Amino acid sequence: MGRRNQSDEATFTDNSKSARKAKSSEPGTYRLAPHSKSRVAYFHDEGVGNYHYGERHPMKPHRLTLTNHLVLKYGLHKKLEVFQPRRATDQEITDFHAHDYIDFLKRVTPDNAENFAKYFQRFNVGDDCPIFDGMYDFCQIYAGATIEAARKLIAGGADICINWSGGLHHAKRCEASGFCYVNDIVLGILELLRHFPRVLYVDIDIHHGDGVQEAFYTTDRVMTVSFHKYNGDFFPGTGHFDEIGSSLGKYYSVNVPLRDGIDDNSYIWLFRQVMEAVINTFKPSAIVLQCGADSLGCDRLGCFNLSIEAHGKCVQFIKSFGIPLLVLGGGGYTIRNVARCWTYETSILVDTELDNNLPDNEYREFFKPDYQLHPHLSGRLENQNDRAYLTRLKQRILEQLRYLDGAPSIQMQEIPPDIQGFLEDGEDEQREAKEDSEAHKDIRDLGGQVEVVGEWYEDDFDNDGDARDGESRGVLWRGEPSTPAESTDIDV
């Protein structure tokens, strides 16, 4: 995929075209007036960057301090409404998570961990998800910010809300996973569902957004779309194209499995094609965008080739639809680039151009040797996603979307739905769905193209052999020493 064609380019730069197409006069559906500036709320806790997973652990909350620092030094706070969020309460967190799991997270500390050792396996804590000082406080901070941001959107107090400390998409109801303990995204979406009929979740982290997909696998009120590296082995091991949802949620999970080295043009082309179709079909009333920055080139754990500009174009494209938007962080392990990326994306959300030369700041040494907002990150890996593969992938996703009956006719509810009942229903349905998981294969019969499917499906999406296993507990980080290129990413 060497270049975009003319019409792709035109549509991408003239975003209003697709945005207009997605507009709806449906009651309760909110749209920004054309040309009006978005009101953007920014949720940042001053202390969130001071937590430490461990010296050699790749997850560095300090990246949040760096990001906020650049946002301030560029003066972007003048265009934002800045909030110090409150912490999520246990009650709010157990809207999704199991009580015994949260009780464990609250009580365990590095000092008393021995006493809890028998629970480690059950709750999946250990190397990837270590027990560190203030672990549950950290969770309450990032989850509280996401919940507050969702409520701000519901109240109509902002068009866009940003929480770079959120986006921890791997956490499950009863267990930690992939550096994530509490799934703030699920909590935020549950909050949005109290008011908005349909919520779209979009995930551009390099890892599959498995925790969010699983939570909403059986409902048609949440559509999840995840773009990620997939080979059946790469963490978390899920995200195959044929995970499409089940029961009422059948066809409402969209997975875009990608190979190593995807470049800017390919990614933007596919993202635009898929997301325009998804938004026009599903007609979301709110969107949650997880902006994991481990999909950037040169990420410590990633293997894509994206530039910060391309990553930001995805944000810009979603923004262009003018639908209430909750923007979250996520992965990102070369922290100087995470800070650059999320600062740049903040600027996009407030319609402000930034000088490529970084402003003077006390963390300047992190950004050497170029001291620029847009360092060269591409080209380290060969792009394994050829045009034929991406075109077939796009076609299959569009075929899946044709199975959606338009937007479900959910009435706006004055009374918040019974979230607990909603989740319990979902659990029953998920159990049934697992028994029925093989039935997903019917997607292969879509569109009367069985022969075509047979020709490429096995080769393209089943190249993982039998490695795919939604129950597996993969390891995101194998504790390798950091590479010399990461030498500036030390705990500070």
Catalogue the active-site residues: 170
Nearest distance in Å: CB 266, Zn ion? 19
Is 157 annotated to bind a ligand? Reply is no
**Could you report how far apart the first and last alpha carbons of the chain are, in Å?**
41
CB atoms within 10 A of CB 184: 32
User: Residue 54 half-sphere exposure, CB side, CA atoms within 13 Å?
Assistant: 15
Q: Which is nearer to Zn ion, 210 or 429 (CB)?
A: 210
Interface with Zn ion by CB under 5 A: which residues?
A: 205, 207, 292, 294, 331
Q: Which is nearer to Zn ion, 236 or 312 (CB)?
A: 236
Nearest distance in Å: CB 87, Zn ion? 24
DSSP sequence for 189-238:
HHHHHTT-S-EEEEE-SSS--HHHHHHTTT-SSEEEEEEEE-SSSSTTS-
| Cα gap 492→482, rounded to integer Å | 16
Sign of CA dihedral 447, 450, 454, 455: negative
Q: Which is nearer to Zn ion, 229 or 240 (CB)?
A: 229
| Tokens matching residue 83 | 């909030």
Q: Which is nearer to Zn ion, 457 or 477 (CB)?
A: 477
**E strand or H helix at 83, and its extent?**
strand 81-83
| Tokens matching residue 396 | 């299959």
Nearest distance in Å: CB 330, Zn ion? 6
Q: Which is nearer to Zn ion, 367 or 477 (CB)?
A: 477
User: Residue 310 half-sphere exposure, CB side, CA atoms within 13 Å?
Assistant: 22
Is 62 annotated to bind a ligand? Reply is no
Nearest distance in Å: CB 235, Zn ion? 8
Nearest distance in Å: CB 306, Zn ion? 13
Task: Using DSSP, state whether 439 is helix, strand or coil.
Answer: helix
Length of the chain: 492
- Identify the CA nearest to 306 among candidates 293, 325, 319, 290: 293
Q: Which amino acid is located at 285 in the chain?
A: S
Nearest distance in Å: CB 300, Zn ion? 11
Is 220 annotated to bind a ligand? Reply is no
Q: Which is nearer to Zn ion, 292 or 297 (CB)?
A: 292
Is 294 annotated to bind a ligand? Reply is yes
Residue nearest to Zn ion (CB): 331
Give Cα 432 distance to the centre of its chain: 27
Q: Which residues of 97-127 are buried (b: 16+ CB within 10 A; e: fewer)?
A: beeebbebbeebeeeeeeeeeebbeebbbee
DSSP for residue 415? S
Nearest distance in Å: CB 169, Zn ion? 8
Measured between alpha carbons, how far is residue 452 from residues 340, 432, 460 in Å?
Answer: 43, 30, 12
Nearest distance in Å: CB 327, Zn ion? 16
| Cα gap 179→477, rounded to integer Å | 9
Cβ(333)–Cβ(235) under 8 Å?
Answer: no
Q: Which is nearer to Zn ion, 196 or 342 (CB)?
A: 342
DSSP sequence for 248-268:
GGTT-EEEEEE-TT--HHHHH
Q: Which is nearer to Zn ion, 226 or 285 (CB)?
A: 226
- Identify the CA nearest to 81 among candidates 31, 43, 24: 43
Annotated binding site: 128, 178, 205, 207, 294, 333
Annotated binding site for substrate: 128, 178, 333
Annotated binding site for a divalent metal cation: 205, 207, 294
